[in-house]
Structure 1
Amino acid sequence: MKKCILTACFSFLTYIALSQGAIQGRVIDKNSREPLELAYVRWSNSLQGVVTNKQGYFSLNPASATGSDGVLIISFIGFTTREIRTSGNNSILVEMEKGPVSLEEVVITPQSTAASFHTISKIDLNLQPVRSAQDILRTVPGLFIGQHQGGGKAEQIFLRGFDIDHGTDINVTVDGLPVNMVSHAHGQGYADLHFLIPELTGSVDYGKGPYYTQYGNLGTAGYVSMNTANSLDKSAIKLEAGQFNTIRGLAMIDLLSKRQKQKGTNAYVAGEFLYSDGPFASPQHFNRFNLFGKFNTQLGKNNRLTLIASTLNSDWDASGQIPERAVKNGSIGRFGYIDNTEGGYTNRTNGSARLSSYLSPATTWENHAFYSNYNFNLHSNFTFFLNDPVNGDQIRQREGRHIYGYHSKLSHETHLGAWNVESVYGTGFRLDQTRNTELSHTINRNTVLEYTQLGDIRETNAFAYADQSIEKNRWRFNIGARLDYFNFHYKDKLSAAQSPDQEKVIVSPKLNIQYTLDTKTQLYLKTGKGFHSNDARVVVFNQGHEILPAAYGADLGVLLKPTRNLLVNLAAWYLYLQQEFVYVGDEGVVKPSGKTRRIGLDLSARYQFNNWLFADANVNIAKPRSAEEPKGENYIPLAPGLTSTGGLNWQLKNGLQGSLRYRFMKDRAANENKSVVAQGYTVTDLSVNYTKKQYELGLAIENLFNVKWNETQFDTESRLQHEADPVSEIHFTPGTSFFARLKLSVFF
């Protein structure tokens, strides 16, 4: 504690000494009183300025040094730009009001690359209507998702030449709470976002590649960090109804008065119910219920406490993947089924507490503790009657889980001569304990014919990291390193012999460099090492060998703003994995695929035609290949090679707003030699809303042109009940046909 106090005093004195004569201030949201990080502050006669830190603070050279008339310009995406005359006042508070989105407010600064993804996602989140938590993931350029067994199962994710399955190579968090489940009954890194109510999303941050010290396990292809809003602008009740017996209700209630909010205290609750049968011949009976509550308040002048609690309960029926041959011979339709006894249920209850302590305007100390209780039960049948011609091949994957975690992070800004220095230090742990993690052979969901695996898992990940960003004039260097320690324990309930616990330590260094030519151009190089852990059962059975395969990556990119209404991000990238050594939960086996190599090109562009019409486009090219197989035999099954997303968004002053959006995925190899191909698709969605002060009417249409497309596809060997021999071919889940929903929201 003494050390923390000394650090705080030193930081404060340093800050005061170095900012004598400078204009100091803080930028906040006028309604919520929340600090606005990355707001841009400059003098009226200069394009060069500074951005606010996490607490919303800034310090700018005095007006006399620039010949300014003393007028400050403060801008931030989604807020109305303000002009303030300082009039000799060296300490000001800037209150920003929400306003129209304008690309003019995006300014390239030495901090831009670190925040460029955040900026792009903030633009998208402001403009694109979000219908589900999965739509939030789609705001990440190049990220695709696919559902292949009922609405309640976590989606399959594709990014940067990866078929990530349900989350093996992407680190996903909500309010700092890990979404990914390590050593999960269905698959490593299983990331189920259904506990997030989409309308509560306040911000989305993301990064591609293993370049970020704060995001460790599973963050090889990248990370997505979402945060819920700290306050509600207004309370609302929403009702939606659409095809396929779809109905959704939502209530978001602000619990406090404006007077309390002006004092910095916010509290709200939200509840969501969803039911849908889907377009399938066998109804899904998918229902989901969510409750969420958030409270945040000031504790004294320099501490802020945030408490969050949420719970999810969901169950569904499913038809799973169906074989092409059954559709071609007419025995079933595209939305038919071979086994309609698939399905599952899941529930998750979360609680977290975060204390943000502002030790000085340049130093923040955050402490975050969280807990989750989780239950999962899934029945699947991928091969039908291949292994058991009499009873069928249905499997059950089940687990109960407790997750405990803590993360402490100290952020500090200072100066070393002419260099600006930002330091971040973090430490913490995550403990997962599962009970009766199961893989079994079942029939009709009820009877267990045989247990393949049954046991309890305990997996501990302790970590520490340090991150330094140093900046001078046009240069910015970011150097970081992360240390992760793992302990894996598995109690096998089907065997008297038990394998000992296994331990592993891995160090992940990062080095990122950027050079800002001017306010229109910035170059950057990102390099780093990341990793994904393997399932604890595999780690123990393999006595700790090859359990933390490393990933090495590099990005060479440019951030451009050639005109005031155009923002472009272009990056060439490379990623090498030591081993795609992943536990296949559906079979209870390990299928190592050896070393892999991916190279690619990402292009993202945002353009504003006028004050109400916006366009965006993302093109993502990848060449994913096995590094150890001969040419022609080295394809990585289902890894995407070319994807693109984009569309038009409009926001008229009369309250009419909407979007027309497309997503495209090219044909891709379904096996190692590309003799089997997963078909590509282009799907277009439309959303139109009419918003007034007290209500909103809306129409959302998925698959506007009613194209036939396959949402997920696998090259699977299966046997139907009356077939003499098995057949290996594409098995698929059909993508949703034309699907329209109406909605009515009332605000109060």
Structure 2
Amino acid sequence: MWGRFIPVAFLILFASATSYSQQIVSGRIIARDTDLPLEEATIQIKGQPVHTHSGLDGRFTITLTKPTDTLYITHIGYDPKTIVWNQQLVKEPTIYLLPAPVQLSQVVVQDSRRALQQVMQIDLKTNPVNSAQDILRKVPGLFIGQHAGGGKAEQIFLRGFDIDHGTDIRITTDGMPVNMVSHAHGQGYADLHYLIPETIKDIQFGKGSYYAEEGDFATAGYVNFTTHNRLDRNLLKLEAGQFNTLRTVGMFNFFEKTGEKNSNAYIAGEYLFSNGPFEAPQNFNRLNFLAKYNTQINQKSSLQVLASTFNSKWDASGQIPDRAVRAGLITRWGAIDATEGGNTSRSNIAAKYRTKISDTEDWQSNFYFSQYDFSLFSNFTFFLEDPVNGDQIHQSEKRKIYGMDHRYTKQLFGDKADWVLTAGMGLRHDAVRDIQLSHTLQRKEVLEYFALGDIDQTNASLYGSAEWRKGHWKVIPGVRLDHFIFNYVDKLQPVYSTQAAQKTILSPKLNLVYTPHANWQGYLKMGKGFHSNDTRVVVAQQGREILPATYGADLGAIIKLHPKLLVQPAIWYLYMEQEFVYVGDAAIVEPSGKTRRLGAELGIRYQPFSWLYLDADINYAKARAIEEAKGNDFIPLAPSLTSTGGISVSPVKRLDLNWRYRYMKDRPANEDNSIQAQGYFVNDLLINYTRSKWALGLQVENLFDTEWREAQFETESRLRNEVAPVTEIHYTPGTPFFARIKWSLFF
């Protein structure tokens, strides 16, 4: 009898131990100050590389390995909490986190992608976004330049790319694409001026083309902006500064006094006027409105609806030739053609539905629609082509964007490894009408049409990834499939005809992550990315070589040398295939050969005291054209060495001081480096004094009044009285010393 019982008892005990080793437990994280679910809290098993994150309803699921497992729960802006699970008396406990000052020690290294997001949250808290220009500057290593009166999308630089206005970086806001395909001015044109800085809650970013969910334009990287779902308090802000600058912002909660916790809504508005430092006033006007509604349908589902509208109008002094300034014909703040400028508008409506299908399954759907108008007058060459009327050009379009995307995520738990499976699909259609380039006079008369037509471009996509977690390792393979349909009707042709082409591209990805210790993680990321070309390029090339691919790799780490010191070193490589570029300023197609970029980056965050925060990012890149002879293989305007950083200090309670710097080294302006774009080192200062009901601030751009050039190009031009054209640097001067006073009221 005992001989039979002992083996059976052993099997029962073994099965019991095995089942416990696979025990799946759940809980819910709630913020004590708001009594609302906390999304993206990190739940770790102490002493192990096992972790998970809370979902939209604050719930999480994790696999315990032994009865003594201790959970360590953290969230940026909250005190951490330790839970010994076998002491819990309820099946799914509610765990409350208490609010606390944002600290670098709250960053969890075990997930490098989320760790970067957490670092960004600290950066935003210690040095908040203060202007439309600040929005993109928050991304480490990303530089911008404005060269058309403040209303045109910024020129972007990242990882050895002159990205123009967005060709090689994917930008979204609340799930809506910012980049404009086949744009009148330039492919990927990304105008973020419809985003009110004070509404930004979070900025997610990634470098390279290693993420299956990020598609068109995500070659050098991607940036996703998220606005607040709920306001902590109402805000009324007034700003006034030099150059007749006036700005006002209002943000107001709804449902504040109804006791409604499952639903909330707010509205935000912004108005900005400035003449700028130029002798010809910019007359820059910008008006923004945003409304956002959120409701928790039930414990598992939520719905978010967003509507916004934006209108902007400005005059510009354009890019000025260096020789005109040296000869005293104009000052740095003068203009050769003061009739430049433009106007633009964008209205959006979007809906996001999220639901937790089960403890291990999530679903998210986004739907969006945008209506966009654009009109820009420029003159880069002055009297080169038309010595009588001048060379002013007009670029304009009217666009509607329809889109949706869906994402399904499932967790699988096993005794050997855990899996997270993600699958998604997307559809975007751009209907662009009367997209044109014309030769104009004084913004009034059309002298000649260079291009005029209608574009319809559709992008359908599928993607999937699998995250395999075992011990210290995480392996994330992924793949993305994109299919494009291009249609163009050239209205300058005597006979109506639709030119069409289609193209499909497959983009595999692979990320390897190693976490030997809770305080550091290494990674190797590899992937293929792409950016679409302008529809007018596609039909001109009859569908050949019109989805230029990139192949890249990143080797790096995120290391917490101390709870108050975090470093992020990385080296990277990026190869780009042959492409053909549609030059919107000339209505021509130009070939651009194969390129190779490699570089190194170092990010440092240090918070020795709760009142002192230091950060610095240093970025090196070597960009070369592969098929050109050495010495003639430079890529114009590609930055080689850049750095940003600063110090945030609170010497006394309620007083915050922020000093920021940005540095860019001289870089080639043409292929043989015979002409260079000047580098710069610019400093900004922000001082804020905050009380419970109001705040007073002073913001100073270019603190030391440095004479610098914000945008620079090698351009061939001719002035009115010149016999022959001249090729040299044309530039837009960078902002001089610029002070603004800010007053905010909270209620």
TM-score, normalised with respect to structure 1: 0.94
1:409-465 deviation line (CA, Å, top 9, x unaligned) = 111111244211111110120000011001000010000000000111000000010
Please say if residues 421 and 468 of structure 1, whose CA atoms lie closer than 8 Å, have aligned partners that are also in contact: yes
Q: Does 1:286 align with 2:270?
A: no
Deviations 1:568-618 (A, max 9, x none): 111110000002432111111122220000000011111101011000110
Query: How many pairs were matched up?
Result: 725
- How far apart are 1:521 and its partner, in Å? 2.1
1:744 alignment partner in structure 2: 743
Whether contact under 8 Å (1:129, 1:687) holds in the other structure is no
> Contact conserved, 1:499 with 1:541, CA < 8 A, in 2?
no
In 1, Cα distance between equivalents of 2:512 and 2:247 = 47
8 Å contact from structure 2 (residues 262, 297) kept in 1: no
**Who is 1:215 aligned against?**
214
Kindly provide the amino acid, as one letter, of the partner of residue 403 in structure 1: I
Relative to structure 1, the CA distance from residue 292 to residue 712 in structure 2 (aligned partners, 3 Å threshold; closer, same or farther) is same
Matches within 5 A, 1:173-192: 173-192=172-191
Say if 2:470 is the partner of 1:469: no
- The 5 Å alignment of 1:154-165 reads 154-165=153-164
- Output the CA distance in 2 between the equivalents of 1:355 and 1:75: 26
- Structure 2 gaps of 5+ residues are 1-18
The structural deviation recorded for 1:547 is 0.6
Judge conservation of contact 1:39–1:74 (CA < 8 Å) in 2: yes
Q: Contact 1:50 / 1:59 at 8 angstroms: preserved in 2?
A: no
Amino acid in the other structure paired with 1:65? P
Aligned partners of 1:565, 1:628: CA distance in 2, in Å? 47
User: For 1:539, what is the secondary structure of its paired residue?
Assistant: helix
Determine which structure has more spread, i.e. the larger CA radius of gyration. 2
- Distance across 2 between alignment mates of 1:693 and 1:96: 23
More displaced, 51-60 or 231-240?
51-60
User: Is 2:64 the partner of 1:65?
Assistant: no
C-alpha displacement at 1:81, in angstroms?
3.0
Question: Per the alignment, do residues 403 and 481 of structure 1 end up closer, same or farther by CA in structure 2, a change over 3 Å counting?
Answer: same
Aligned to 1:99: 100
| Corresponding residue number in structure 2 for 1:314 | 312
Aligned to 2:4: none
Q: Which residue of structure 2 lines up, in the alignment, with residue 10 of structure 1?
A: none
Partner of 2:267: 269
Amino acid at match of 1:294: K
2:238 is aligned to 239
CA, structure 1 residues 227+680, in 2 after alignment: closer, same or farther (shift >3 Å)?
A: same
The change in CA–CA distance for 1:510 and 1:18 in structure 2 (over 3 A counts) is farther
Q: For the structure 1 residues 379 and 29, does the alpha-carbon distance in structure 2 shift closer, same or farther, using more than 3 Å as the test?
A: farther
SS of 2:112 mapped into structure 1:
helix
Alpha-carbon separation, structure 2, partners of 1:440 and 1:155: 23
What aligned pairs does 1:224-623 form with structure 2 within 5 A after superposition?
224-257=223-256, 260-261=259-260, 263-497=261-495, 498=497, 500-623=499-622
Do the aligned residues in 1 keep the contact of 2:267 with 2:289 (CA within 8 Å)?
A: yes
How far has the Cα of 1:347 moved from its partner? 0.4
Q: How much does 1:119 deviate? A: 2.0
Following TM superposition, where does structure 1 have runs of at least 4 consecutive aligned residues deviating by more than 6 angstroms?
17-20
C-alpha distance in 1 between matches for 2:525 and 2:678: 33
Matched, 1:25 2:24: no
Q: Distance in 1 between matches of 2:420 and 2:120?
A: 23
Q: Equivalents in 2 of 1:191, 1:493: separation in Å?
A: 26
Match of 1:39 in 2: 41
What amino acid maps onto 1:40 in structure 2?
Answer: T
Aligned to 2:732: 733
Q: Which amino acid aligns with 1:94?
A: I
CA–CA separation in structure 1 for the residues paired with 2:435 and 2:743: 42
Q: Structure 1 residue 129: deviation in Å?
A: 2.5
Amino acid at match of 2:357: L
Q: Supply the distance in 2 between the matched residues of 1:34 and 1:734 (Cα, whole angstroms).
A: 48
2:499 is paired with a residue whose SS is: coil
Q: Which amino acid aligns with 2:212?
A: T
**Which deviations, in whole Å up to 9, do the C-alpha atoms of 1:119-139 show, x marking residues without a partner?**
221221111131123312111
Supply the distance in 2 between the matched residues of 1:184 and 1:675 (Cα, whole angstroms): 32
Task: Give 2:205's aligned amino acid.
Answer: Y
**2:109 alignment partner in structure 1:** 108
Counterpart of 1:8 in structure 2 is: none
Secondary structure of 2:538 counterpart: helix
Q: Which amino acid aligns with 1:661?
A: R
Deviation per CA, 1:35-56: give whole Å up to 9, x if none. 434423347x757662314333
Q: Partners in 1 of 2:256 and 2:158 — Cα distance?
A: 43
Query: Retained in 2: the 8 A contact 1:531–1:550?
Result: yes
Distance 1:19 1:360, change over 3 A: farther
Change (3 A) 1:42 1:532: closer
Cα deviation digits, residues 53-93 of structure 1 (max 9, x gap): 4333334566972376xxx5432122233456754334222
- Equivalent residue letter for 1:101: V
Contact 1:31-1:233 within 8 A present in 2 as well: no
State yes or no: 1:691 paired with 2:716.
no
| Correspondence for 1:5 | none
Alignment CA distance shift 1:175-1:720 (3 Å): same
* Aligned match of 2:55: 54
Amino acid at match of 2:386: D
In structure 2, the partner of 1:140 is 139
- The alpha-carbon distance between structure 1 residues 699 and 558, as it changes in their structure 2 partners (threshold 3 A), is same
Contact 2:625 2:633 in 1 (8 A): yes
Give secondary structure in 2 for the equivalent of 1:537.
helix
Shift in alpha-carbon separation, 1:417–1:647, aligned structure 2, 3 A? same
Query: Does the 8 A contact of 1:276 with 1:284 survive in 2?
Result: yes
| Counterpart secondary structure, 2:423 | strand
1:414 and 1:47 mapped to 2: Cα distance? 18
Higher alpha-carbon deviation: 509-518 or 123-132: 123-132
**Counterparts of 2:555 and 2:49, CA distance in 1:** 25
Shift in alpha-carbon separation, 1:97–1:232, aligned structure 2, 3 A: farther
Partners of 2:686 and 2:698 within 8 A in 1: yes
Preserved contact between residue 547 and residue 579 of structure 2 (Cα < 8 Å): no
CA distance 1:181–1:647, change in 2 (3 Å): same
Call closer, same or farther: CA 1:25–1:708 in 2, change over 3 Å. same
Provide the C-alpha distance between the structure 2 equivalents of 1:203 and 1:89, rounded to a whole number of angstroms. Answer: 34
Distance in 2 (alpha carbons) for counterparts of 1:64 and 1:296: 40
- Please give the alpha-carbon distance, in whole angstroms, between the structure 1 residues aligned to 2:719 and 2:64: 78
Alpha carbons of structure 1 residues 81 and 652: separation in structure 2 relative to 1, 3 Å:
farther
Is the 2:366–2:406 contact (alpha carbons within 8 Å) kept by the matching residues of 1? yes
3-state DSSP of counterpart to 1:334: coil
Specify the SS of the correspondent of 1:592.
strand
Distance 2:467 2:716 in 1: 51
Residue by residue over 1:703-746, the C-alpha shift from the partner in whole angstroms, topping out at 9 and shown as x without a partner, is 00100000000000000000000000000000000000000000
Cα RMSD over matched residues? 1.8
Residue equivalent to 1:206:
205
Partner of 2:714: 715
Is contact 1:26-1:52 (8 Å) kept?
no
Shift in alpha-carbon separation, 1:655–1:412, aligned structure 2, 3 A: same
Change in 2 beyond 3 A, CA 1:544/1:700:
same
| TM-score, length of structure 2 as denominator length | 0.94
Shifted more, 399-408 versus 114-123: the winner is 114-123
For 2:219, the aligned partner's letter is T
Give, as a single letter, the amino acid of the residue that structure 1 aligns with 2:92. Answer: S
- Cα 1:267–1:430 change in 2 (3 A) is same
Instruction: Tell me, yes or no, if the aligned pair for 1:488 and 1:502 is still in contact at 8 Å.
Output: yes
The match for 2:166 is 167
CA contact (8 A) 1:637 1:670 kept: yes
Q: Secondary structure at the match of 1:124?
A: helix
